[in-house]
Structure 1
Amino acid sequence: MSPLLAFAQPWALVLLPLALLPLLAARRDALAFSHLPWLPADRAGTVLGWVSRVLAALAILATALALAGPQRPESFVQRTGRGAEVVLLIDRSRSMDERMVPADWRTIDPLNLRYQAQSRGEPKGKVARELLARFVAERRDDRFSLMFFSTNPIRIVRFTQHDAVVQAGITAGGIGRGLSDTEVGRALAAAIAEFDQRAYTGSRIVLLVSDGGARLDAATRQRLRTAALRNRVALAWIYLRSVNGPKLDTPGEAAEAVPEVALHRFFQTLPGGYRSYEAEDPAGLARAVADVGRQQNFPLDYSERVPRRDLTRVALAFAAVCCALLLALRALTLGAWR
């Protein structure tokens, strides 16, 4: 448990006893009079005299505290919101630099669709990063972790409540070009492992954004099932379908030879729950991201970091107010008999 108040220069606290000096009896401002019983009782003057002494003591006290550099230390407060702990697992392979079909793709001749996508469509990775950045900005209570992957997973941000850090990481994903290979199994294992040794406080999800699949061996499948069950993690896959790419719900045993279909069918066996979304254009991707946001909106306990607060200016301002009041009282004080 952190203290309520800390000091940057605690040695200055030795000056605090000086605040007692104005409270000591002093006769510097006393006025001589021939016979004191002749004077009427001056209750207001007595009160103002003690008020001026107290103000002077408070001014010295506040100045000494300001010299000590008072501050409220950093702390953590337990809060309850609505949201989830989300690992953003984003494909950064070379295929994500390809372009999505334009919004009016349904009106285009299928024979001309690929050409139209290459000339008018937006890069899949760019569209995904923009929508995920908006998704992060709109979900204030969520805790995000960010990973990119191609041949290997690359952790960018651990779980954090600072949206600006996640936004910067998402933006950095657009630098350079990706590699040709996509190791989904290794990346998904690393994403689920982000929840290891982390207290369960609410809904957990890995949001996979990728345009490709993979055929996982039996050992990798079992490892992923065990990890998902242990950490109670759900999976959502936003599949960015390329032009003439396979559909995830393709029926038949022969479809198992298609990596995307095989991966989709394996995901359906995971114990933590699974949702898939096929997005062919930016509008479809936006709908998928919005649906994930609606699904992951449960009570979530989290620790909010309260940053350190410097109280030096507050102490100086209080001392200045006390001095100003002292000057005002001084103007009302009788300096000599007239």
Structure 2
Amino acid sequence: MTLAVVHPWVLSALLLTLLPLFNNGVTIRRYANAALLPEDWPSTLYSLLLKALAMSVMAALILGIAGLYRGEHWIERVGHGANIVMLFDRSSSMDQTFAGRAPGGGEEAKASAAKRLLLDFIARRPHDRVGVASYSTSPLLVMPLTENKDAVAAAISATDKPGLAYTNIAKGLGMALSFYREQPETTGSKIILLVSDGAAAIDADNERKLRQWFAEQPLRLYWIFLRGKNSPGIFEQPEDPRDDNAQSRPERYLHLFFKSLGIPYQAYQAESPDAMRDAVAEIDRLENLPLHYREKIPREDLSGTCYGAAALLLALLLGLKLCEARA
């Protein structure tokens, strides 16, 4: 922990705290022969207490004026959870329901269902470090990996805004992988959680790059595929062999690409909000290992604390002063 001040020159006024050493404010009574008076240790201690309180009040006020603060620092955290990057598909089809139409009559868009269920997911997992990204035509970094659940909740809440028509899954995955580069080393699982209702064919160059990037990180990959009505699934092989290609069945071939990466991978095909809830619940159950990480604590202003301490000590000093016996 590092303490510092905004205005260092104000600290020169701390010399004024020595003034109570020369005058404690106690009324002086003169006697003809002070040697006849017995030693009064309570009064001596009382006098020292008044001086110490007066010096503390002055020091607290000066530190408050100087702008005392605790500098940014790191602390060690231990819990159960995972490092999770949530990658959201923000193509326009996510604004439709699972039935493939605009929401209406109490129906819920796929993006809204994903937001609701994942907000509940992070609320149950206080020790996770979560990052948020989205993609459509281009990727968008929404929130870097953080322990701040309020910030994560706000980032997830922003993912159901109207999206664009295109799906560039390669750039989205590249953005998600970048979250784990140059990060402080932590224990616990490193996860990419992809939530999408479709995919697009990945060209050979991007496929090669993604294979290399996945090989550099010990990652786990989960894909929650939000299957709409009449949409081809990711597990079924087409009946017509001519349709069995990346252009006709991009979702199926993305699933096969993920399986070929040689990393822990699990796909969930959700055809309703309830099915998505079950998928999220299973991920919650699987990813709850011991997690050791470092959390950055931002700079904290302590001037208010100094003023509060000064007010409290001043009230105590005033109370003791009023208790002074008067002859």
TM > 0.5: yes
Residue 201 of structure 2 is aligned to residue 210 of structure 1: no
Alpha-carbon distance in structure 1 between the residues aligned to 2:61 and 2:232: 73
Is the CA contact (8 Å cut-off) linking 2:95 and 2:162 kept in structure 1? no
What is the one-letter code of the residue matched to 1:235?
L
Following superposition, the deviation at residue 120 of structure 1 comes to: 6.2
1:191 partner amino acid: A
- From the superposition, tell whether residues 256 and 186 of structure 1 become closer, same or farther in structure 2 (CA, over 3 Å): farther
Residue 256 of structure 1: which of 217, 239, 244 is its match?
244
Q: SS in structure 2 opposite 1:333?
A: coil
For the pair 1:272 / 2:270, whether they are aligned, the reply is no
Match of 1:315 among 287, 291, 306: 306
Q: Which of residues 311, 318, 325 in structure 2 aligns to 1:327?
A: 318
Rate the CA distance shift 1:24–1:274 in 2: closer, same or farther, 3 A: same
Q: Is the 8 A contact 2:201 2:254 kept in 1?
A: yes
Aligned to 2:110: 124
Partner residue, 2:71: 73
Q: Does 1:246 align with 2:237?
A: no
Deviations 1:290-338 (A, max 9, x none): 21222222222322232333333333333334433433443443444xx
Aligned length: 321
Work out which of the residue numbers 101, 120, 138 in structure 2 matches 1:134: 120
Is the CA contact (8 Å cut-off) linking 2:57 and 2:310 kept in structure 1?
yes
RMSD of aligned C-alpha atoms?
A: 2.8
Q: 1:223 to 1:310 in 2, by over 3 A?
A: closer
Please state if 1:91 is matched with 2:89. Answer: yes
Cα distance in 1 between the residues matched to 2:47 and 2:175:
72
Q: Is the 8 A contact 2:95 2:160 kept in 1?
A: no
Report the equivalent of 2:153: 167
Displacement after TM superposition at 1:279 (Å): 0.5
Per-residue CA deviations over 1:136-189 (Å, capped at 9, x if unaligned) read 33322222222222222222222222223332232223333421x322223223
Distance 2:141 2:237 in 1: 35
- Cα–Cα, structure 1 residues 318 and 22, in superposed 2: closer, same or farther, change >3 Å? same
Q: 1:230 to 1:37 in 2, by over 3 A?
A: closer
Unaligned runs of 5+ in 1: 102-113
Query: 1:130: Cα distance to partner?
Result: 1.6
Q: Could you say what secondary structure the match of 1:34 adopts?
A: coil
SS of 1:206's partner is: strand
Contact kept, 8 Å, 1:228 with 1:234, in 2: the verdict is no
Percent identity, aligned pairs only, is 35
Amino acid across the alignment from 2:193: L
Kindly indicate whether residue 286 of structure 2 is the aligned counterpart of residue 295 of structure 1. Answer: yes
Residue 116 (structure 1) shift: 12
Letter in 2 for 1:223: K
Which amino acid counterpart does residue 222 of structure 1 have in structure 2? R
The answer on whether the counterparts of 1:192 and 1:233 sit within 8 Å (CA) in structure 2 is no
| C-alpha separation in 1, matches of 2:102 and 2:217 | 44
1:195 is the counterpart of 2:186: no
Aligned partners of 2:181, 2:228: CA distance in 1, in Å?
Answer: 34
In the alignment, structure 1 residue 153 sits paired with structure 2 residue 139: yes
Please give the alpha-carbon distance, in whole angstroms, between the structure 2 residues aligned to 1:334 and 1:15: 33
The gaps in structure 2 that reach 5 residues or longer are none
Residue in structure 2 matched with residue 111 of structure 1 by the alignment: none
Larger Rg: 1
In 2, distance between residues paired with 1:320 and 1:307?
27
Corresponding residue for 1:109? Answer: none
Q: 1:74 to 1:34 in 2, by over 3 A?
A: same
The answer to whether the Cα contact below 8 Å between 1:213 and 1:263 also exists between their aligned partners in 2 is: yes
Q: Is 1:281 the equivalent of 2:262?
A: no
Q: Distance in 1 between matches of 2:73 and 2:273?
A: 42
**Letter in structure 1 aligned against 2:157:** T
Q: Quick one: distance in 2 between partners of 1:226 and 1:79?
A: 31
Equivalent position SS for 2:244: helix
